[in-house]
Amino acid sequence: MKKKKLILVTNDDGIHAKGLKALAETVKPFGRVVVVAPACPQSGMSHAITVVKPIEIEKVEEEEDFVSYKCYGTPVDCVKIALNQLLGQKPDLLVSGINHGSNSSSSVFYSGTMGAAIEGCINDVPSIGFSLLDLHPDADFSASQYSASRIISKVLANGLPKSICLNVNVPPVSKSEIAGIKIARQTKGLWKEEFDKRTDTLGRDYYWLTGNFHNDEPDARDTDEWALKNNYVSVVPLRVDMTCYNTLDLIKNWEL
């Protein structure tokens, strides 16, 4: 009998998020599933790790070919603890999400969902982050599950090149309205912050972070933002080597 695949599932919205449950259900037909997810919401935690305090783990659920743990740490802590303590062997796949909210364009840098996927990739595990462009706790994940299932079966069949992981975003539309799946590049864009400044009861200033995403290249048709605006699921392959090779010679000419 062929050995069942081992699949690690995590996220940044935490163990109770609907998107995590949706992703765990999506991968169950593919093999044995281990969920290690943050006990508390970790949105915006990026690739953060816990270095000044210990990390506690508790088992939440166990049934045939399925076990889940909550971890009092960041998404990347979850991946590190899973790979080094809980799994006992390297998983065949890591999936992270399904995030409640977009992680397209430069949002990939702030995303705990993608932090976890990148950590899997650094550890040579084929890794995919999934995000739905809907922040609602009760968002409808059926189109995301359908797309995720297609992408996961291709990754399990073909593998991923070393040091490459996938950033998948899904538009907030029903399954029948999805135009298709588009391989895209990361859009050049950024969040323009408009901090909301307030004063506390002792007269001290404090700020709430708010803002809007600004697309620097709204007309470019090969980007993840364009795909999502046009109801496509976007798939961006990310490298964990951040070196800009084109710039090496330029800087060598500075004669430092």
Chain residues 81-110 in contact with its own copies, contact rule CB under 8 A: 81, 83-85, 106, 108-110
Q: Considering only residues 1 through 40, tell me which ones interact with its own copies, judged by CB under 8 A.
A: none
Asked if 212 is part of the footprint of its own copies (rule: CB under 8 A), the reply reads: no
Cβ closer to its own copies: 1 or 157?
157
Q: Distance of CA 157 to CAs 30, 93, 126, 151, 240, Å?
A: 11, 11, 11, 10, 22
- Cα distance between the two ends of the chain: 61
Smallest separation (angstroms) from its own copies to the CB of 73: 9
The four Cα atoms 151, 12, 222, 171 give a dihedral, to 10 degrees, of 80
Q: φ and ψ at 72, to 5 degrees?
A: -85, 65
Q: What is the spatial distance between Cα 213 and Cα 176, in angstroms, rounded to a whole number?
A: 27
Three-state SS letters, 135-151: CCCCCCCHHHHHHHHHH
Smallest separation (angstroms) from its own copies to the CB of 135: 11
Asked if 205 is part of the footprint of its own copies (rule: CB under 8 A), the reply reads: yes
Interaction pattern, residues 183-202, with its own copies; x per rule: CB under 8 A: x-xx-x-x--xxx-xx-x--
Please report where in the chains the tokens 């359908």 appear, as a residue. Answer: 146
Asked if 214 is part of the footprint of its own copies (rule: CB under 8 A), the reply reads: no
Q: What is the spatial distance between Cα 218 and Cα 235, in angstroms, rounded to a whole number?
A: 18
Cβ closer to its own copies: 60 or 164?
164
Smallest separation (angstroms) from its own copies to the CB of 197: 7
Tokens representing 100 are 């409640």
Smallest separation (angstroms) from its own copies to the CB of 39: 13
Asked if 215 is part of the footprint of its own copies (rule: CB under 8 A), the reply reads: no
- Kindly state the helix (H) or strand (E) to which residue 31 belongs, with its residue range: strand 31-38
Smallest separation (angstroms) from its own copies to the CB of 56: 5
Interaction pattern, residues 40-59, with its own copies; x per rule: CB under 8 A: -x-xxxxxxxxxx-xxxxx-
Tokens representing 70 are 């909550």
Cβ closer to its own copies: 4 or 137?
137
Q: Which of 14, 5, 65 shows the shortest CA–CA distance to 36?
A: 14
Asked if 209 is part of the footprint of its own copies (rule: CB under 8 A), the reply reads: yes
Q: What is the spatial distance between Cα 200 and Cα 66, in angstroms, rounded to a whole number?
A: 47
Q: Considering only residues 63 through 82, tell me which ones interact with its own copies, judged by CB under 8 A.
A: 76-77, 80-81
Q: Considering only residues 105 through 164, tell me which ones interact with its own copies, judged by CB under 8 A.
A: 106, 108-110, 115, 118-119, 122-123, 150-151, 154, 158, 161, 163-164
Contacts with its own copies by CB under 8 A: the residue count is 77
